[in-house]
């Protein structure tokens, strides 16, 4: 996997995004993404776990749901990174417990309806190499050594229409919120 930094945007690029959201945000917010992405993810999880074990994983946690799909997995990889996989919102708590046990300053936070803490309220990602690109997948890989002391990576977890995604990761100082709300330029947005 190639490591790619998360680039900070300029004034122009921030301005363009605001204008874009104003003009097109509602349409994009209603957009349906292919269900195939969801149904084909499980093999990636299996492959990822296999790689982690082969690489000398020091920690692995799985909780099986009634349908035997793992609700979450936290794996320390041989290169020191930690891969977090969450397949169900119910797995958030277990994933956080495992992250704490491994001493990784990262926490998954569910995006829930009615929550008043928005993604926009949180500080932007401060360190470029903390998280390898999730792009809306169920797994992210974190570099714990890159997390600034005293900071915590907050992983926003959304489950909507049967599809769960870890949408974003932000380094945050202070207390980690219990929940997050979807956010756009118009303010808080309820989960569809």
Partner 1 sequence: MREGSGGSALLEFERIYRDNVGVVTSFFARRCSDPQTVADLTSETIVRAAAGFAGFDPRRGTPRAWLSGIAGHVYSQHCANAASGRDAVTRLAGLVTLAPEEIDELMGRIDAQRAGQELLERCAALSPLERSAVELVDLDGLTPKEAAAVLGVSRGVLRMRLSRARERLRKEHHVDEQKEHHVDEQV
One residue of 57, 108, 156, 171 binding partner 1 per CB under 8 A: 156
Instruction: Give the residue, chosen from 51, 102, 163, 176, that forms a contact with partner 1 under the rule CB under 8 A.
Output: 163
Is 13 a binder of partner 1 (CB under 8 A)?
yes
38 binds partner 1 (CB under 8 A): yes
Q: Which of residues 119-138 bind partner 1 (CB under 8 A)?
A: 119, 133-137
User: In the chain, count of helices (H) and strands (E)?
Assistant: 4, 10
Nearest alpha-carbon partner for 134 in 104, 161, 170: 170
CB-nearer residue toward partner 1: 57 or 85 = 85
Name 183's bridge partners: 188
Evaluate whether 143 touches 129 at the Cβ level (below 8 Å).
Answer: yes
DSSP assignment string, 78-111? TTS-EEEEESSGGGHHHHHHHHHHTT--EEEEEB
Residues that bind partner 1 (CB under 8 A): 2, 4, 6-13, 15-17, 19-21, 23-25, 27-38, 40, 119, 133-137, 156, 158, 160-163, 165, 167-168, 182-184, 189, 191-192
């Amino acid at each position: 996997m190639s490591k790619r930094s998360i680039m900070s945007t300029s004034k122009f690029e921030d301005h363009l995004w605001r204008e874009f959201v104003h003009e097109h945000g509602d349409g994009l917010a209603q957009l349906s993404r292919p269900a195939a992405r969801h149904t084909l993810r499980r093999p990636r999880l299996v492959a990822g776990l296999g790689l982690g074990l082969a690489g000398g994983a020091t920690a692995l946690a799985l909780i099986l749901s009634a349908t035997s799909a793992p609700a979450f997995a936290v794996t320390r990889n041989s290169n020191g990174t930690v891969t977090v996989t969450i397949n169900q919102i119910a797995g958030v708590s277990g994933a956080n417990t495992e992250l704490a046990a491994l001493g990784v300053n990262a926490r998954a936070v569910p995006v829930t309806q009615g929550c008043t803490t928005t993604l926009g309220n949180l500080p932007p990602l401060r360190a470029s190499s903390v998280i390898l690109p999730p792009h809306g997948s169920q797994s992210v890989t974190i570099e714990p050594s890159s997390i600034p002391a005293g900071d915590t990576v907050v992983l926003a977890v959304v489950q909507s229409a049967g599809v769960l995604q870890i949408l974003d990761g932000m380094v945050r100082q202070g207390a980690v919120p219990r929940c997050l709300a979807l956010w756009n330029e118009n303010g808080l947005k309820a989960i569809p």
